[in-house]
Structure 1
Amino acid sequence: MLKKLLVSGAALAFAFAGAPALAQQAAPAAPAAAVATRDADPALWVVKDDDTTIYLFGTVHVLKPGLSWFDEAVKTAFDKSDTLVLEMIEPDPATMQALMMKMVINLDGPNLSAQLPEEKRAAFAAAMSEAGTPAAGYERFDPWFASLVITLTKVAKLGYDPNQGAEKTLTAAAKAAEKPIVGLETAEEQLGFFDKLPQAVQVKYLEVTLDQLPKTGEMLDKMVESWAKGDPDTLAAVMNEGMAETPEVNKAILVDRNVRWADWIAERMKKPGTVFIAVGAGHLAGPDSVQTYLAARKLKTERVKY
């Protein structure tokens, strides 16, 4: 489902970069048409006390070229910060490849297509074929990984690119400025949130992905437009479409992580300094946002004005 592109982190987008060894060859992104750069003003929040300032910035892990967002308030906050904090620090491709081989292949049990309702199997086979994955390969995938491959293949064909995502820009800027980069999680942890889901939940997640596939472009365009306008309420409303069908996934990849991150922020507030935290925009939107759990810890977040 598209929500993974707003909450599940750079690990999942990066995982797909290593997927060709498993899925043969990822579909290339559609050639980007020449577009004029347009201004984007994504939402930015701050938590602070006398000697500590923590900025909270919501990212989109895949974007099209042409959005100018790393400027104005976002750039000012980044420049003031001593440290960049991301959901995770990308491991090298060889490490990620080894991790994926361990986590996404299931050699036991029935073929994946046999676990789907009969009426979903043709759509599943077609989607995996579009991703360039032979049946002999995808039948042994874990359902969550098949869902990822299907989604990111569609997204790439629509012109969205993880190399245009906010994390890439922020990481490059931090390295150029010699700022330390910290990960809230590891790649293994991020992939594990999906891999540890019960099999029945993973299969249901794959079914919902297939159902939503025809409207991927419309939904993702609306999400990115809401992000660019700094409208977290609309973003949350779009994200929540279909999530009622898989509450276990919502808990694992959104709610539980937001609770842990609020704890991390509360602990970090005890030390002086300025920190720029960049996580998927979905974590900073809706009733289960990081800000909600910070409020429960008596920490007030304020929206930064442009």
Structure 2
Amino acid sequence: MIARLAKLCLVLQVLCVLLPGWLLLSCAGNTPRDAGEGDSRETAGQSDRQVAGQPSQHFFWKVSDANSSVWLLGSIHFADSSFYPLDSVIETAFVNAEELAVEIDVTDDSVSTEIASESMQQGMMPAGKRLQDILPPEMWNSIDSICTAWGFPLMTLQVMRPWLAAMTLSAFAIQRVGIDPTLGVDAVLLDRAAHDGKAIVGLETASEQIGALADTTDSDSAGIFYLKSTLREVSELDSMVARIVRAWKTGDDALLRETMADERDYDEGTAEKEISDKIDEKVYKSRNVKMAERIAEFLSEDRNVFVVVGAAHLVLDEDNVVDLLRRRGLKVQRY
């Protein structure tokens, strides 16, 4: 199973860097809804929680060893003004923290530059080759149809490897449904941390983030698989986002897992299953291990850190960050 939210979160973080440049030049005719006006899809999730009148359970944990603790928040990288202010238990923990740790600090100019550079270096087709030349005709026809319907210049994709073309289409689809990455939970907390003078720590490097998505092999098999799955997912992005937002606002693990599960169960031993597992390992599992290691380091160093990572890394499957921390013998309490 590929954690689709983990992929979407990666796209959104890279989007924060790339969108103002080469992508927005192709998107000028499409204006997202004003996030400040709120969105009925998202507000509905908040209203459900308020009407229920029950204590809220968040994607929020306190992780402790014998003499110190850190806070761990599961973020979604898109939101609107209805998300704020955050619940008091989250707000208090953030205010009292001395450091903010995020997957990657996109506010750091050097990191942003590296993301753009890595994307271009690893995402362009070799000289003399076109994306159309390596895709099955039916897949290229689907891309052609989507670009025509969206008013997106097809030639923009011709020079891209499949993985970058998939990311570009995802980013454009995200913009079309009115998602604002600048109001994502981690983005808002990053801005606040910079304003408040908190130290900001990146859990990953730019090359690690891009490497989780990039496929630069001669066959581009993983990239083509990713592009194929993206073509399926963009058609349901609006409803998928609505369910993710509802799950986050209500602390509903089951809804988040159900929404993010890949609906296709590939047979063992098939090429599709092998590729799916490899992508899952790169995008999700191996990154979870590194995140858990860094959090454990914070505790061993008695650092007062507020950690924010994508919610998918905390609740999906058995190899999530929360489970990995518990296996280390750490105390993990949910709020």
TM band (smaller chain): 0.7 to 0.9
Equivalent residue runs for 1:143-162 within 5 Å: 143-162=162-181
On the 8 A contact 1:5/1:61 being kept in 2, the answer is: no
- TM-score, length of structure 2 as denominator length: 0.81
- TM-score, length of structure 1 as denominator length: 0.88
Query: How far apart are the structure 2 equivalents of 1:228 and 1:211?
Result: 26
> What CA RMSD, in Å, does the superposition of the two structures yield over aligned residues?
2.7
Query: How far apart are the structure 1 equivalents of 2:238 and 2:118?
Result: 30
Unmatched 5+ stretches in structure 1: none
Unmatched 5+ stretches in structure 2: 50-55, 267-275
Report the residue type matching 1:79 in the other structure: V
On the 8 A contact 1:2/1:220 being kept in 2, the answer is: no
Equivalent residue runs for 1:71-150 within 5 Å: 71-90=87-106, 91-92=108-109, 94-108=113-127, 110-129=129-148, 133-150=152-169
Q: For 1:241, which of 257, 262, 275 is the aligned residue?
A: 262
**Between structures 1 and 2, the one with greater helix share:** 2
Indicate yes or no: 2:182 matched with 1:166. no
Moved over 6 A (4+): none
Equivalent residue runs for 1:1-306 within 5 Å: 2-4=4-6, 7-8=9-10, 11-20=13-22, 24-25=26-27, 27-31=30-34, 34-35=37-38, 38=46, 42-68=58-84, 70-90=86-106, 91-92=108-109, 94-108=113-127, 110-129=129-148, 133-196=152-215, 198=217, 199-242=220-263, 244=265, 246-286=276-316, 287-304=318-335
Query: How far apart are the structure 2 equivalents of 1:69 and 1:200?
Result: 44
Report the residue type matching 1:34 in the other structure: E
On the 8 A contact 2:163/2:215 being kept in 1, the answer is: no
Q: Aligned in 2, Cα 1:267/1:78: closer, same or farther, shift over 3 Å?
A: same
Query: How far apart are the structure 2 equivalents of 1:219 and 1:72?
Result: 28
Relative to structure 2, which stretch is displaced further, 199-208 or 189-198? 189-198
3-state secondary structure, aligned to 1:85: strand
Q: How far apart are residue 179 of structure 1 and its match? A: 0.7
Cα deviations across residues 3-38 of structure 1 (Å, max 9, x unaligned)?
246542753232442552696346431345834875
Cα deviations across residues 249-306 of structure 1 (Å, max 9, x unaligned)?
21111110001111122222211132110001100112221011112222231102xx
Q: Aligned in 2, Cα 1:276/1:10: closer, same or farther, shift over 3 Å?
A: farther
Relative to structure 2, which stretch is displaced further, 271-280 or 135-144? 135-144
Q: Aligned in 2, Cα 1:175/1:33: closer, same or farther, shift over 3 Å?
A: closer
3-state secondary structure, aligned to 1:279: strand
Query: How far apart are the structure 2 equivalents of 1:15 and 1:129?
Result: 26
Relative to structure 2, which stretch is displaced further, 261-270 or 127-136? 127-136
On the 8 A contact 2:11/2:167 being kept in 1, the answer is: no
Q: How far apart are residue 169 of structure 1 and its match? A: 0.8
Paired residues in the alignment total 304
